[in-house]
Amino acid sequence: MPCLYKHNKPLGNNDSKGKNTISSIIGSYKSAVTKHAHRLGFNFSWQSRFHEHIIRDEESYNRIENYVIENPTKWKDDKFYVSTS
């Protein structure tokens, strides 16, 4: 699940505590989506981990944004791709 999250608070020792951490936000999102999907009869599982990266400048942001946009076009070349047709 590619996601760009803009965090405006200065980084410090308290960033990993509480309900506003990236892990907490993603966990809440996954929980809500999973419950709703199961109510609709879908059976799926999430990727167990995620990669977190702090974007420090515009060049880094542009590189990651390009990856998020372009990566799905490469799905058929991925080692995990299974054709459904």
65-75 pLDDT tens trace: 999 999 999 98
User: What is the rounded (10 degree) CA torsion for 49, 51, 54, 59?
Assistant: -160
Instruction: Give 27-38 pLDDT, tens digit per residue.
Output: 899 999 999 999
Domain segments of the chain as ranges: 19-77
Q: Is the pLDDT of residue 9 over 70?
A: no
Place 84 in a pLDDT band, splitting at 50, 70 and 90: confident
Label residue 22 by pLDDT band (50, 70, 90): confident
Phi and psi angles of residue 38, each rounded to the nearest 5 degrees, phi first: -65, -35
